[in-house]
Homo-oligomer: A and B are copies of this chain.
Amino acid sequence: MPLVRIDVNKNASSNLIRAVSDAVYDAMVEVAKVPMHDKFQIVTRHETDEIIYPPEGYLGASYSSDIIFIEIVWLGGRSVDTKQRFYARVVDDIHRKQNVRKEDVIIVLVDNGREDWSFGNGVMQYAPK
């Protein structure tokens, strides 16, 4: 049930996008127990002036124009521990496969409810009993 938005600069290759996409999906399935094949993601490439980050860095991390923003809306209820392992797994995977700097991956989560999803056909597939 997650909806994932990935925002990157315009130089991002299809390979990079596929690696980020797969890293998020794999971490969801393996760490956050999201069902298999629940892979709905929207990528947007941006001009240089459309991606804004603090040149001074933040909380000890420094950022480059290759920063990757990952925003996820998913079903609420996951534990702090699960979310921590999820972040680490996504970033390790992207770093290992595409040599992206670990500091350049920002992840933001938003929780919603079971009744807030329709995966096609105009049906509320997760309707509460």
Question: Which residues in A have some Cβ–Cβ distance to B below 8 Å?
Answer: 3, 7, 14, 17-18, 21, 35, 37-47, 49-54, 56-59, 61, 63, 69, 71, 73, 80, 83-84, 87-92, 102-113, 115-125, 127-128
Report chain B residues within 8 Å CB of A50. 17, 42-45
Complex CA–CA separation, A38 to B123 (angstroms): 24
**From B43, B58, B80, B120, contact of A52 by CB (8 A):** B43
Stoichiometry, as copies per complex, reads: 3
- Whether B47 pairs with A121 at a CB distance below 8 angstroms is no
Residue among A80, A113, A124 with max Cβ neighbours from chain B (10 Å): A124
In the complex, 15 of the A-B residue pairs with CB atoms within 8 angstroms, ordered by the A residue number, are A35-B58, A39-B54, A40-B53, A41-B53, A44-B46, A45-B50, A61-B121, A91-B120, A102-B121, A103-B120, A107-B117, A108-B116, A110-B110, A110-B112, A111-B112
